[in-house]
Structure 1
Amino acid sequence: MTTPPLGRFGIWTGVLDGVPLGEAREVVAELDEQGWGSLWFGEAYGREAMTAAQAWLGASRRMAIGTGIASIYARDAVSTAAAARTLEAAYPGRFVLGLGVSHAPLVERMRGHSYGRPVTAMREFLDALDRAPAAVPGEQSLPPVVLAALGPRMLGLARDRTAGAHPYLVTPEYTAGARAELGAGPLLVVEQAAVVDPDADGDEWRRRAHDHLNIYTGLPNYRGSWVRQGFSDDDFVRGGSDRLKAALVTHGLETTVARAHEHLDAGADTVLIQVLGPAVAVPPRSDWAALAHALL
């Protein structure tokens, strides 16, 4: 298992699920040409994570592709290991398997599974992943695994059992605490949401931040994480208080660049910028290009 060279800055996006496959592949190739170290995406209502990873790996030449995250309830550990080993063999050193426990509404209402205790469920999945047979010649190696870790127990599991952690919707102060929990060795790949559109005034930034946080403010896993980060119930109105918005979604190119470096200074190995465009299904191509020019 060789950890891909992720670089200091990458892109996190959910927008690819909103466009046809051919256009999405063109977008991925464009991001690759811009020089981003890695591209990460989630798994909820859109494409299945492992087939999407194969499509994005095939559409790019050099940047790493990471699942941020692949739900452990979407496929069993044997299937996950088999798919991950095939991707590692096909694109050596370019794939990172990010795993997470997702959220009870998605797991129970949409998938029809029982949502277990997060750390216990993840530990058992990692045990099964370790036991999964590697029967295909030339496909024995798993790619690096990182965990969607928010709380201290999941960070500890990421430290002890995997290559590192991939926290989402966190502040630089959280990043510093996560680095202390992980120690010096494991990867720490953090996500940072941003509105960098030069035409987005304060009201437009607030609208995009509200739309982005609207679902997350209703999910207990994130609310618990934000309490540990110093926020309170007053901040958890749907879409988030202005205080929560300002902490989690930057406004403007210069502020975004500065926040990304704050995460690096706090101990992140890689910062993934999630650019919020005017609509969730429209790739913010000009914003990505401007951000690449500023950061890369």
Structure 2
Amino acid sequence: MQLGRLGIWYAADKVGGAGAIADFVKTVEGLGYDTLWYPESRGYESFTVGGYMLSQAKTLKLGSSITSIYARDAFTARRGMISLNTLYGDRFILGLGVSHVPMVEGLRGHTYEKPIPAMRSYLNGIMKGETGAESWPIALAALRPLMLKLSAEMTRGALPYNTTPKHTAKAAKALGPDKWLAVEQKVTIETDPARARALGRAELSRYMGLDNYRNSWLEIGFTEADLADGGSDGFIDAMVLWGSAEKVKDGLRAHFDAGATHVAIQPVHAEGDRAARDAIMKALADT
């Protein structure tokens, strides 16, 4: 499987019911995007909604970004990935992640284990006894050096989330030239700074208290002051690109210049504003 240049990252929960999801998938495909990425959510089970979205498209790839290793055992994840690719023409990418303590222990009632050993064990479980497993379309949610190293050793590549071109450059170096580096980037086509940053802070609020992201942000040069009180203007501007379409495209190209092989655009907009979502995707489809 080859991964194209541009994708969309968007939660199926935010889209709505079956009809709205079908329309959204067709819109993404019609705009020429290569892959639609979606997270493990509380509303839809990952493989179920992935299969439904695949059924609504002809060529669009679907990628879980991410499926939690705590949501199903390795055997089930293997069979789910193989089944979706068999049924839908090799268009499914299994993006895996270790999730976060509140989602694992609070929501699911599991014990959150050390990320690297847990992921390595899970990957071993998926690939056990399978020939050609090294070429399967599996990638990892990876931010810091050890998970990036594991991504390079055992999978097709990495799916960094909430990062900057500075991080992309480090990730590209860690992965090497033959791996996928599919970077998520939040965007909004909004030229008013106050409105753009308000949208950005609202979107980022769910991530600000999660240690995985905070540690990564601090590691790439942000400070505790940047992360306080909803995030400094500089931090928000880096996490959510805003401005004219051309300005946002420049920010997306910076990831490619830093070594990204794929950029997944996440539209940021007022809640329920599907017109704004679609307008963002249309404006950036030729990046």
Same-fold status (TM-score > 0.5): yes
TM-score w.r.t. length of structure 2: 0.94
Query: In structure 2, do the counterparts of structure 1 residues 60 and 107 end up closer, same or farther at CA, with 3 Å as the change threshold?
Result: same
1:224 aligns with 2:221: no
- Structure 1 residue 44 displacement after superposition: 3.1
Bigger Cα displacement from structure 2, 242-251 vs 200-209: 200-209
Q: Distance in 2 between matches of 1:187 and 1:215?
A: 27
Contact preservation (8 Å) 1:209, 1:239: no
Aligned to 2:189: 196
Of 267, 270, 284, which residue of structure 1 is paired with 2:262? 270
Of 114, 120, 124, which residue of structure 1 is paired with 2:121? 124
Structure 2 gap ranges (5+): none
Q: Which has the higher contact order (CA 8 A, sep 6+)?
A: 1
- Structure 1 residue 228 displacement after superposition: 0.9
Q: How does 1:178-257 map to 2 (within 5 A)?
A: 178-197=171-190, 201-252=192-243, 253-257=245-249
Aligned residues: 284
Structure 1 gap ranges (5+): 135-139
- Structure 1 residue 45 displacement after superposition: 2.2
Show CA shifts across 1:155-194 (max 9, x none).
0000000000000011101101101011111110001111
Aligned to 1:57: 54
Q: Distance in 1 between matches of 2:215 and 2:134?
A: 35
1:97 aligns with 2:63: no
Partner amino acid, structure 1, of 2:157? G
Query: CA RMSD, aligned part only?
Result: 1.9
Secondary structure in structure 2 of the residue aligned to 1:274: strand
Partner amino acid, structure 2, of 1:271? V
Aligned to 1:154: 147
- Structure 1 residue 26 displacement after superposition: 0.8
1:70 aligns with 2:67: yes
Bigger Cα displacement from structure 2, 15-24 vs 248-257: 15-24
Aligned to 1:175: 168
Give identity over the alignment, percent. 37
Aligned to 1:137: none
Q: Distance in 1 between matches of 2:65 and 2:101?
A: 17
Q: Distance in 1 between matches of 2:129 and 2:152?
A: 21
